[in-house]
């Protein structure tokens, strides 16, 4: 369902000499409720998974990426279909509710799901237990990359990401994540008001196009790097993360634990390596 990702609003623009009423563009933000359907076809059950505040667009990729990075699903092969929910023929909440149908033969443990969300979501309970829990649910093993990333490529990636942010040019209110090859070629870019949503959309796209795990790929973040972003990257097999902003202490600890090269404060002529400096040449 096509929905606008920006909205026009009236604002009062203040300058030294005058105040004026003008039109401005802001990033759209709406709730997306994700549900899953599971069980035998003649006795389906439904579980409400989450309500995600997001920028409309790429909703199916967002839901898919979210379920994979939270350890609910291992791959697209677990899915029967994804669709917006309907109520008497009308799409609920103008396309803000969707249901992911799991294959009937898939064994689904609701209690395990609840534990995973407690351990791995950004709920303020992050720590060593959260890091340890990732090892038990990640479907991939991140190994040492076969090729190193050059510092010259690193210097140029933030500007490449910024150039591709068409919506950011209008609103200034969206985070972006970009997936690049080691030679600096852009593969995909996703935007959202939430940086973790943008990453879920990117990982959902990779899952739909059968590109997981994302080995020998570089993730570029338009802002800082948090534990949640490292978690989601690990669950998709990413080996290189470049952030324009700073990392958190838990982000650094997690990157070191799972052999991810983490770079921050990236500028045109400098950057900081927080984990796996030997991955850069």
Q: Is 85 labeled as catalytic in the residue annotation?
A: no
- Tokens for 278, please give them: 């030997």
How far is the C-alpha of 160 from the C-alpha of 205, rounded, in Å? 20
Q: Which residues pair with 11 in a beta bridge?
A: 22
Give residue 58's region: left, alpha or beta (phi > 0; psi -120 to 50). left
Residue 220 CA: distances (Å) to CA of 59, 66, 156: 21, 18, 11
Q: Of 219, 250, 225, give the one whose Cα is nearest residue 132.
A: 250
Residue 62 CA: distances (Å) to CA of 50, 121, 281: 12, 15, 34
How far is the C-alpha of 19 from the C-alpha of 38, rounded, in Å? 56
CB contact at 8 A, 178 and 184: no
Q: Which member of 123, 126, 138, 261 is catalytic?
A: 123
CB contact at 8 A, 70 and 120: yes
Q: Where are the alpha helices (DSSP H) in 128-226?
A: 128-137, 151-164, 166-171, 195-208
Q: Which residues are catalytic?
A: 123
């Amino acid at each position: 369902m096509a929905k606008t990702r920006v909205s026009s609003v009236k604002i009062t623009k203040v300058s030294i000499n005058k105040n004026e009423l003008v039109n401005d563009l802001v990033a759209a933000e709406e709730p997306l409720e994700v549900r899953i359907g599971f069980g035998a076809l003649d006795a389906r059950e439904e579980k409400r998974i989450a309500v995600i505040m997001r920028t409309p667009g790429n909703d199916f990729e967002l839901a898919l990426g979210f379920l994979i990075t939270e350890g609910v699903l291992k791959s697209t092969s677990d899915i029967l279909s994804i669709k917006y929910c309907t109520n008497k023929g009308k799409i609920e909440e103008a396309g803000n509710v969707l249901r992911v149908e799991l294959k009937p033969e898939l064994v689904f443990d609701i209690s395990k799901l609840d534990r995973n969300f407690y351990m791995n979501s950004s709920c303020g309970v992050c720590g060593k237990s959260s890091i340890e829990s990732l090892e038990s649910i990640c479907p991939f093993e991140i190994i040492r990359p076969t090729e190193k990333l050059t510092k010259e490529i690193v210097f140029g990636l933030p500007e490449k990401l910024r150039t591709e942010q068409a919506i950011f040019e209008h609103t200034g209110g969206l985070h972006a994540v970009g997936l690049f090859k080691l030679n600096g070629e852009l593969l995909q870019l996703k935007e959202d008001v939430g940086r973790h949503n943008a990453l879920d959309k990117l990982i959902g796209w990779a899952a739909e196009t059968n590109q997981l795990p994302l080995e020998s790929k570089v993730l570029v973040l338009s802002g800082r790097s948090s534990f949640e972003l490292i978690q989601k990257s690990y669950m998709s097999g990413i080996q290189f993360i470049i952030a324009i902003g700073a990392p958190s202490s838990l982000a650094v600890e997690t990157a070191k634990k799972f052999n991810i090269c983490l770079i921050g404060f990236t500028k045109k002529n400098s950057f900081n390596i927080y984990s796996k400096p030997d991955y850069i040449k």
